[in-house]
Structure formats: C-alpha cells, structure tokens
A = this chain, B = another copy of it.
Amino acid sequence: MTENTSPEISIQTTDFSLADEVALLEHENACDGAVVTFTGRVRDRNEGKHVTSLTLEHYPGMTEKSLAKILCTAKVRWRLGRVKVIHRVGELFIGDQIVFVGVTSKHRQDAFAANEFIMDYLKVQAPFWKKESTEQGNNWLDAKTSDENKAAKW
C-alpha cells in the first residue's frame, strides 16, 4: 500500500463504501447544502469486446502528488467544502468500483463543476494505467483523444 499524504486522497487495493465516504463528507458539516459524487465502475464491455477484468497500475508518489495538485486547483476555482478522491489499483472485476470523487459545497453549481473537473483531470494527468483482460487476451488501454479534449475545455 502507498503511504497517503492527504486524508483527501486514497490509493488502495481494497473496495470502498459510498455510504461511508458520503457520511464522512457530511459529518458535522451543516453549512454545505450540496453533495455530488462520481463513482466509476468496471463495465462488461469496452469498444465491443467482452471484458472479464481490469488490472490497474499506478506510479506511487506521483499519483498522490498529481491528485493533490488537481484538488488544489479545484479548491481555488470553486467554493468547496470537503473533497475526497479514492482510486483503486490491482485487479478489478465487472461491476467493481474503480474510482470515487465526492465533493460538498454550499451551492450545487460549484459541487457539480468541481467534481467533473477533478474527474476530467484525473483521467489525463494522474498516472494510472488500465490493462484489460478480454476473451481475446490482455491489452493495455489506449488513452482517448476525447478525454484530452474534455480536460482542455476547463
């Protein structure tokens, strides 16, 4: 396991509980009226192929640093209350949770925008790589130009 520098960021092999994470974001937090969560899961199909599992590799140290920079940028751009990012690594199966981003704010617009911003930048800047196991064998996923374009719009 990686040593995590911030309680807002966790890279872990184990699963997480959406309910527990949201409870922590809301605990003794009566000033934030808006809570937005994103959960990314392993899909059964990708580009027409049946997926059986995904294996996630990352670059310990750089992962935490790049996520910390993304969160810092989000906090400067929007009025946020609390933030949490969890990303799992290792082998994951169909329906498994991969990533969680949770954001609270006084107002919904900030919570929605910051959550989507964090996911968009995580997708193109955080050093994670997915290897897909399908009936046709294993292959590393290619990055998508659409993800680059989406991040560039912020």
Contacts and interface: CB of A to CB of B under 8 A. Distances in A.
Contacts of A116: 108, 112
Contact of A42 (B17, B33, B42): B33
A108 B112 contact: no
A29 B42 CA distance: 11
A54 to B, nearest CB: 11
Contact of A119 (B22, B95, B106, B108): B108
Interface residues on A, range: 20 to 34
B109 A38 contact: no
Contact of A30 (B22, B30, B94): B94
Nearest to A20: B19
Interface string A7-42: 000000000011100100010011111111111111
